[in-house]
Structure 1
């Protein structure tokens, strides 16, 4: 989630000073005219696509496709190149980076006209934006530098502003905030010129954020205020929302909690209106912290639940970004590997030609067969390496999905407790939950953690649920003495969904108290977990609720184990066994040691 902005370069300069709705209405009028030259109609279509790109992406795509069709029918290179660029812009806003890069490169290939240097500069800028969003900072700076070089050669102030601004923004991502401030001040000077004032609020926002990183809150608020006022004038709701989020955070740091609350609520409304999920989630998280500082426990929990729901959706999009990065890397590595194989083949052929004589034909046949085998082997190796990277990415995504699910259910537990108990008990409960949440989030990025840490996390979870259910159940965790709990590594939270199932769908449904026994044993090269409860069991719970219980967390855990099996060529397993009283879950995982 980002509270800074990159400048995405479009070609529509004539409409920069106009409010968006005015632009759309004017363009609709122009497009409704029956007799419009094809070149003008292409321009109108592309302007319209730009104007609605953030609010109606399917319609924007339709406009760019129509513009491209007209431009191609007239062999108009300018229109073709600009249509490809606009298609890239729409895909960029959809976060479909693979398609966006493809369209941008098509735009560069189609650009054969006078003034193509400036056109190329805008495309380089947008390609750089994609790499910046993917945190490929070296590639981003490489393309921004191409933009700046062209802008300086052509004395284009707009492109100079965009290049300097975006270079500064990457520097912020790299933690070079002091250097970023210097470049942002240059960009600010350029944005104060009348034709470039559209960029002024964006530059001010990032200047404010840089000063916020440097903990100079007075200067940060000064630039945020300037950004907000100008964004309101030009009706730039996306920038308004970002600025308000940043201001709300600073008010929270300064313990101006009432002001922080009001500001963050405004940012949430604007982010929801513009459909910016990541920024809306960030605002909810900041609001949750504000409510907590005000002592409003119930409101803090409700805000945090909103954050978790939105963050869960964002994880899916981030997974796609990771897979795009792997896809791009795979294609590049495959091309390099096959090119090297071709070079080797050519060298061998040259040597064979030198040999000459009657054995030439036979040698050529043998070489071609060997070459094909080598080429196939190279490609197979590259594919295997790529699939391994994808599996790793999918595992990370599954862990990320499980944690919001885990936390969301815990928040429901806390909400029930807060609603039913006294403030002192509720506060103690919240402290324990905060510990649980911190441990969970710290472990979410790790593929494996020591068994000792994972069992401590599980113990904390059991204790929280014990409090919620007023000690309706007891629990015990035993570990085989032959297992070194500090040296044995396990996937984080692998047992939690099954423990949750035992509590929520087993013991909480029965009359009287219950017990949960967790055992960890070692068998040859496997770690064997078991969770036994004496609850109502799967069949009784299904009869009571009218459906078979298959929790989301359990499904994710099974998927995690399936990927672990594929990566390690092992037969890890999950087995659910109905007992006469309760359910037994068995989980087998490959033994992994830290050293």
Structure 2
């Protein structure tokens, strides 16, 4: 029985915590109001689709379709890809694998056409999960390995450990437990310590490995640990998975009553979510427990319901398992207890074989070796009950062949591991021998040169004494000069930082934002006021937190910049839109920049480019890309430009105090870090462009 946690990639413009029902209601009311720009509607609908993914997938599907339809109407390919991905994730949560696979394929197609390598790799990861759910294990392994290769090329660590975790799930279904554990532990090694939810999912899967290898106490401890993490986080799907897995372990330990309680609780959660695949898992496990309790009629109906669920998800492995279990169930019914009119003492064995044969055919299509072992053993036992010992022996041999093939595979894997270890030891010995040879040659060369050094020792001592006196005098003079330069630099840094602290944001922006909030309140629109105030408060809090730091990560700076542009775009009622384009391969977590580096340039575009422009919608484009040994940050708008085509040039007095102050900060940055950051900006044919180059040191 597969009760395995896998991860999907959710791509959405704003990954905020929108799980609270009141926040969702607020967004729903805002997006229904008239006058909301279409681009804002797409963003809000995608946020809502993302929020409903783990709560109510049907609602998530509705909002993802709304976002997709509007994005297609506006011919906005990026948001089309985002909407398709959110649509696939909600279909996945419902167990509608075919629809999910189609959605992910559409997302990958668009990302590929846009040359968005990261988006295409994430869509490929999600496609692999659907292939796994459809029991296409070989394609799932290939897709995960290709996704891992793509993420490694981009040095995208989360993508690597997500796919390693899911690859382990595939190997777990194929009973390749060493490979499964290796993948899980490799993912755990790469996973950040603060990612408790991801570690909970890994604990679930590691527990399943130990369950399948018979270490039930260790398995139960892992599942219980995962349950506690899911409960604290309020993750309903995680809770259902952990409950189901604990139920399986309890059933194997003969604690059938406790197992049923766990399965019923898991089933209730999965029905609320609407996850057909997990519903099928719970029904299958409940059928097993009722068979162990000799409640044959209840077990029969549970397995029939499970088959119906798996038929809707095209899950071959679990569908085959239920056919097989139904056959075993009918064969196990005692002659004095046959609760169904269609099953009699005369046809009981033939009915059992009929179900088991269906299970065998479907199991062969799925390629799940552990299941085929069980199916062949069940056929052997049923033919023995029919006194057809020839067929019983035939299927028993097939059972042993599959069991031995897995055992032989394990021996081969162990042989490969030993060979790899031998190759490693061999290379280590060669390196050691080479190192020792180099040391010996170096020692001989030193001895040959020793006598030459003795000849010039006397002359060397004289010159050392002479130059020592000169060096001391020079060092005193140089140190005094460096102290003066350092004091001057510190004074300039202090003056520049003091000016920046006084002008982190244009006071007009704060005043206008508070006026906007007041206006919403006076218009009896508390929902919009609350949403605007929340964004404004978050921006103020981030600025206060980062104002005491000389540098912050580029990711944090872009987060503050995006909130600022959201507030201004909302206050200007869609007068302009914005795009933040982060080139793949740029690690925004590691790159350090001064706080609010780009904000003055964006502010200049808004106030000088769009405040009086009504002909066409304004657009601000922020681009971060690699360049040489560093990165280039570009802020470009389509506001008022030059009358005729002229080359990009710097305007000495045509930009804001914030822009001039930013140039001073960059100059101080260069002096204090001996860097070569530079900025150039000016008007174009249409609009204004700023290019800021930061070296690798940043």
Please, what TM-score do these two structures have when normalized by structure 2? 0.45
Structure 2 residues not aligned, in runs of 5+: 363-377, 392-698
Q: What is the Cα deviation at residue 84 of structure 1?
A: 2.5
Contact 1:49 1:64 (C-alpha < 8 Å) held by counterparts: yes
**Matching of residues 163-562 of structure 1 within 5 Å:** 163-194=163-194, 196-290=195-289, 296-297=293-294, 300-301=295-296, 303-314=298-309, 316-317=311-312, 414=337, 439-445=353-359
Which whole-Å CA distance do the structure 1 matches of 2:78 and 2:228 have between them? Answer: 37
Which whole-Å CA distance do the structure 2 matches of 1:113 and 1:198 have between them? Answer: 33
Q: Residue deviations 1:458-494, cap 9 Å, x none? A: 9999xxxxxxxxxxxxxxxxxxxxxxx98xxxxxxxx
Q: Residue deviations 1:100-148, cap 9 Å, x none? A: 4443333233227888111111100111112112222222122212322
Q: Residue deviations 1:255-307, cap 9 Å, x none? A: 334433432332233233333444344434434544565xx54xx33541441
- For the residue of structure 2 that corresponds to 1:414, the secondary structure is coil
**Matching of residues 3-42 of structure 1 within 5 Å:** 3-12=3-12, 15=15, 19=19, 21=21, 24-25=24-25, 27-42=27-42
Q: Residue deviations 1:403-446, cap 9 Å, x none? A: 68x969x89993769xxxxxxxxxxx999999788645433335
**How many positions carry a matched residue from both structures?**
370
Instruction: Say if 1:216 and 1:42 are closer, same or farther in 2 by CA, change over 3 A.
Output: same
Contact 2:247 2:263 (C-alpha < 8 Å) held by counterparts: yes
Instruction: Say if 1:24 and 1:437 are closer, same or farther in 2 by CA, change over 3 A.
Output: farther
Contact 2:95 2:277 (C-alpha < 8 Å) held by counterparts: no
Which whole-Å CA distance do the structure 1 matches of 2:36 and 2:180 have between them? Answer: 46
Which whole-Å CA distance do the structure 1 matches of 2:359 and 2:132 have between them? Answer: 21
Contact 2:93 2:275 (C-alpha < 8 Å) held by counterparts: no
| Large movers: runs of 4+ above 6 Å | 112-115, 401-404, 410-413, 429-437, 456-461
Instruction: Say if 1:231 and 1:12 are closer, same or farther in 2 by CA, change over 3 A.
Output: farther
Structure 1 residues not aligned, in runs of 5+: 323-395, 418-428, 462-484, 487-595
Instruction: Say if 1:201 and 1:13 are closer, same or farther in 2 by CA, change over 3 A.
Output: farther
- For the residue of structure 2 that corresponds to 1:175, the secondary structure is coil
Q: What is the Cα deviation at residue 216 of structure 1?
A: 1.8
Contact 1:124 1:143 (C-alpha < 8 Å) held by counterparts: yes
Instruction: Say if 1:18 and 1:214 are closer, same or farther in 2 by CA, change over 3 A.
Output: farther
What is the aligned partner in structure 1 of residue 43 from structure 2?
Answer: 43
Q: Residue deviations 1:51-81, cap 9 Å, x none? A: 3346655543332232123223433221122
- For the residue of structure 2 that corresponds to 1:11, the secondary structure is coil
Contact 1:147 1:163 (C-alpha < 8 Å) held by counterparts: yes
What is the aligned partner in structure 2 of residue 122 from structure 1?
Answer: 122
Contact 1:284 1:304 (C-alpha < 8 Å) held by counterparts: no
CA RMSD of aligned residues (A): 4.7
- For the residue of structure 2 that corresponds to 1:155, the secondary structure is coil
Q: Residue deviations 1:189-224, cap 9 Å, x none? A: 444533x43323322211111111122222211211
Instruction: Say if 1:50 and 1:246 are closer, same or farther in 2 by CA, change over 3 A.
Output: same
Q: What is the Cα deviation at residue 13 of structure 1?
A: 8.2
Which whole-Å CA distance do the structure 2 matches of 1:172 and 1:411 have between them? Answer: 35
Which whole-Å CA distance do the structure 2 matches of 1:227 and 1:12 have between them? Answer: 27
Which whole-Å CA distance do the structure 2 matches of 1:23 and 1:411 have between them? Answer: 57
Instruction: Say if 1:259 and 1:180 are closer, same or farther in 2 by CA, change over 3 A.
Output: same
1:103 has 2:17 as partner: no
1:156 has 2:156 as partner: yes
Which whole-Å CA distance do the structure 1 matches of 2:325 and 2:217 have between them? Answer: 40
What is the aligned partner in structure 2 of residue 490 from structure 1?
Answer: none
Which whole-Å CA distance do the structure 1 matches of 2:335 and 2:31 have between them? Answer: 53
**Matching of residues 578-589 of structure 1 within 5 Å:** none
Contact 1:78 1:113 (C-alpha < 8 Å) held by counterparts: no
Choose 1 or 2 for highest CA Rg. Answer: 2
What is the aligned partner in structure 2 of residue 62 from structure 1?
Answer: 62
What is the aligned partner in structure 1 of residue 684 from structure 2?
Answer: none
Contact 2:286 2:302 (C-alpha < 8 Å) held by counterparts: no
Contact 2:122 2:159 (C-alpha < 8 Å) held by counterparts: yes
Which whole-Å CA distance do the structure 2 matches of 1:45 and 1:214 have between them? Answer: 45
Which whole-Å CA distance do the structure 1 matches of 2:300 and 2:12 have between them? Answer: 41
Which whole-Å CA distance do the structure 2 matches of 1:431 and 1:204 have between them? Answer: 47
What is the aligned partner in structure 2 of residue 581 from structure 1?
Answer: none
- For the residue of structure 1 that corresponds to 2:337, the secondary structure is helix
Which whole-Å CA distance do the structure 1 matches of 2:177 and 2:153 have between them? Answer: 28
What is the aligned partner in structure 2 of residue 132 from structure 1?
Answer: 132
Contact 1:301 1:411 (C-alpha < 8 Å) held by counterparts: no
